[in-house]
Amino acid sequence: MLPVIQLLSGLSLSIFSVSVWALTIVATIPPVGSLALPFMSDKDQLSVILTTGQSPHGFQMRPSHRLQLEQADLILAVGTGVDAWSEKVLKTMPEKVIWMQKQPGLVKFSQRNDEKWPKHSHPSNAAAEHHEAGHEEHEHKHEHEHEQSTADYYQDPHIWLSPKNGELMGSAIANRLMTLEPQRTLDIQQKLVAWQESMAALDKKIAQQLAAVKSQPFLVLHDAFQYFEKHYQLYGVGAIQVNPELKPSLKKVLALRAQIQKDGVVCVFKEPQFPEKQVTYLIEGLAVHMGQLDPLGRQAQLQPYAQLLQGLADSFSECLQKGSGSSQGK
């Protein structure tokens, strides 16, 4: 009887382990974590490295962050300048990582770079550091790697702010979860279909919401919203600063004030993780409104992706509609 008992005991343990299996998922930044929420089980655990109030600009990982990644079953990373601080560690555990920027079919834009749109800077961007560093002795050995780094360096890193990209990245996460949790395949497939339908409806709703303000010119603190702006055909006319953590020079401030008046700017947008004075001193005395945009969606640590997009739409609509019907710049 003992072999039978052992067999039944092993079978029971196997069934039990499947039924209580939970995944540990770690995301580098909140938006990619939010894309996993619709497909997780109640037992799955999700955490985010970059927490509420922190900026990806100059962020540095601690040993506790590395341990967090080492203990994860699945890691969600953008793979652009916004989380380049994680790249070195993640390259040691590639089998765990979904690199969002490598998903096929993504919309990708180059960083805008002219007097109105100064090239956006993430100081910890490993690709940028590689691009700027002297590396002549490695030219032949690492030619292909250098070409890839250069391409990443010039890419606008905020790919999740395109609803089309968001849907593709969410689908990639769902597909990986089906591989990791095959017993949940049908459940995840059903959730994916429902989520895709809800995203299509949201996209249509936001397009209708923003249609009335598409012609209203605005400035942003830094050029983080190109994907959202172009998807909904909004009229951005420039960014205040290359690095939002740095105060623009007096010359830059005077040029921006002249631009606000010349272009008939309706709204200047600040961001919640940076001091409000970066915008208030710029627009003081001008007939222009101030709004707020959050590219990371951190009103809550794990805000659903749909809420991130809707929050941006509401912020744009609320501020820009104040210029509707006015003759400012028209």
Q: Domain with 165 in it: what CATH number?
A: 3.40.50.1980
Q: What average pLDDT score do residues 94-120 get? A: 87
Which strands make up the sheet holding 97-99, listed edge to edge?
45-48, 24-27, 74-77, 97-99
Instruction: State whether 272 and 173 are in the same domain.
Output: no
Provide the pLDDT for residue 228: 99
Provide the pLDDT for residue 131: 39
Residue type, 290: M
Determine, yes or no, domain membership for 6.
Answer: no
Q: What are phi and psi of 10, to 5 degrees?
A: -65, -40
Across 2-11, 18-27, 158-167, the highest mean pLDDT is recorded for: 158-167
Instruction: Kindly report the three-state secondary structure assignment for every residue of 190-221.
Output: HHHHHHHHHHHHHHHHHHHHHHHHCCCEEEEC
For residues 81-115, one letter each, b for 16 or more C-beta atoms within 10 angstroms of the residue's C-beta and e for the rest, the string is: bbbbbbbebbeeeeebbbbbbebeebeeeebbeee
Instruction: State whether 32 and 99 are in the same domain.
Output: yes
Determine, yes or no, domain membership for 4.
Answer: no
Provide the pLDDT for residue 119: 57
For residue 55, pLDDT beyond 50: yes
Instruction: State whether 170 and 106 are in the same domain.
Output: yes
Q: How many distinct structural domains can be found in the chain?
A: 2
Instruction: State whether 75 and 52 are in the same domain.
Output: yes
The candidate with the shortest Cα–Cα distance to 323, out of 282, 300, 291, is: 291
Cα four-point dihedral sign 164, 100, 33, 40: positive
For residues 118-145, one letter each, b for 16 or more C-beta atoms within 10 angstroms of the residue's C-beta and e for the rest, the string is: bbbbbbbbbbbebbeeeeeeeeeeeeee
Instruction: State whether 237 and 182 are in the same domain.
Output: no
DSSP letter string, 160-190: GGSHHHHHHHHHHHHHHHHHH-GGGHHHHHH
For residue 288, pLDDT beyond 50: yes
Q: What average pLDDT score do residues 25-53 get? A: 93
Query: Cα(226)–Cα(154) distance, rounded to whole angstroms?
Result: 14
Provide the pLDDT for residue 13: 41
Domain boundary among 161, 181, 202: 202
Instruction: State whether 196 and 271 are in the same domain.
Output: no
Of 26-30, 246-250, 262-266, the poorest mean pLDDT is in: 246-250
Model confidence, pTM: 0.83
User: Please, which residues have CB within 8 angstroms of residue 104's CB and are 6 or more apart in sequence?
Assistant: 168
Of 1-15, 21-35, 105-119, 275-289, the poorest mean pLDDT is in: 1-15
Determine, yes or no, domain membership for 61.
Answer: yes
Instruction: State whether 38 and 63 are in the same domain.
Output: yes
Of 141-155, 196-210, 258-272, the poorest mean pLDDT is in: 141-155
The candidate with the shortest Cα–Cα distance to 103, out of 38, 48, 50, 176, is: 176
Determine, yes or no, domain membership for 8.
Answer: no
Instruction: State whether 219 and 80 are in the same domain.
Output: no
Instruction: State whether 60 and 179 are in the same domain.
Output: yes
Identify the domain containing residue 81 by its residue range: 24-113+152-202
Instruction: Report residue 166's pLDDT band, with 50, 70 and 90 as the boundaries.
Output: very high
Query: Cα(91)–Cα(181) distance, rounded to whole angstroms?
Result: 24
For residue 9, pLDDT beyond 50: no
Provide the pLDDT for residue 246: 73
Report the alpha-carbon angle 210-215-217, nearest 5: 105
For residue 140, pLDDT beyond 50: no
Query: Cα(16)–Cα(19) distance, rounded to whole angstroms?
Result: 5
Q: What average pLDDT score do residues 123-130 get? A: 42
Instruction: State whether 51 and 160 are in the same domain.
Output: yes
The residue that leads in pLDDT, 10 or 21, is 21
Provide the pLDDT for residue 14: 40
Determine, yes or no, domain membership for 289.
Answer: yes
Determine, yes or no, domain membership for 330.
Answer: no
Provide the pLDDT for residue 117: 76
Domain boundary among 202, 228, 260: 202
Determine, yes or no, domain membership for 121.
Answer: no
Instruction: State whether 186 and 229 are in the same domain.
Output: no
Instruction: State whether 218 and 185 are in the same domain.
Output: no
Determine, yes or no, domain membership for 304.
Answer: yes
